[in-house]
Amino acid sequence: MKPHPAKVTPAALKALLGDSLYSGVVRHFVLTTGEEPAYVERRLLECLRYLYLLSCYPQQLVGLFLPVEQAIDEVWHYLILQTREYRELCEERLPGRFFIHHRSLPYEDYQQGQPNRERMLEEALRWLPLYREEFGPFDEGALPHWTMVRFLHQRMGLSLEEIAALEAEEPASAPPGAERAC
């Protein structure tokens, strides 16, 4: 398998927020969680990756349950509360240039709405190749933040290299314009 270098670097993602907002988010979560700044920065980075993917691949991902950890959702909530900056992030800085709405949906509710387990797995795995395409393969630092990747690694015994090699099956009826939006 050929390597997948990152197209979007951590520095480019950090620049999406600007130094002031980036450091303010990190400071807030260091103070409220007691976690180390490096860990909080990684959480923020993975949240920005999540938002970037939603912005870049709306046809493939918007409306799907993307299994990130609750801590990522908390960072997203905090960003949303910075209303002006969040709107600018979505509409002016992220590649899709549209406002990304947040809707909380408990996993149990999502699971009940799914016709079968196979479809749920297909949807959960759809974003793996997109992440790899934009940011390179998952590394150890990403594992605490992405539920499905951690499950595949720890419970299913897949190496990070094997996870990087996973490809999503194309949905039976891909929507028109389902290619990359950015």
Q: Global pTM?
A: 0.85
pLDDT of residue 122: 75
Instruction: Identify whether 37 is part of a domain.
Output: yes
pLDDT in tens, 111-129: 555 556 576 667 767 888 9
> How far, in Å, CA of 3 to CA of 88, rounded?
33
> How far, in Å, CA of 32 to CA of 131, rounded?
29
Who has greater pLDDT, 133 or 113? Answer: 133
> How far, in Å, CA of 57 to CA of 71, rounded?
22
Q: Would the pLDDT of 49 be above 90?
A: yes
Are the C-beta atoms of residues 55 and 100 closer than 8 Å to each other? yes
75: containing domain = 10-102+116-165
Q: Would the pLDDT of 10 be above 50?
A: yes
> How far, in Å, CA of 54 to CA of 63, rounded?
9
Instruction: Identify whether 178 is part of a domain.
Output: no
pLDDT in tens, 71-115: 999 999 999 999 999 999 999 999 999 999 987 655 565 555 555
Are the C-beta atoms of residues 50 and 57 closer than 8 Å to each other? no
DSSP assignment, residue 126? Answer: T
pLDDT of residue 76: 96
Instruction: Identify whether 88 is part of a domain.
Output: yes
Q: Would the pLDDT of 45 be above 70?
A: yes
Count structural domains, the chain: 1
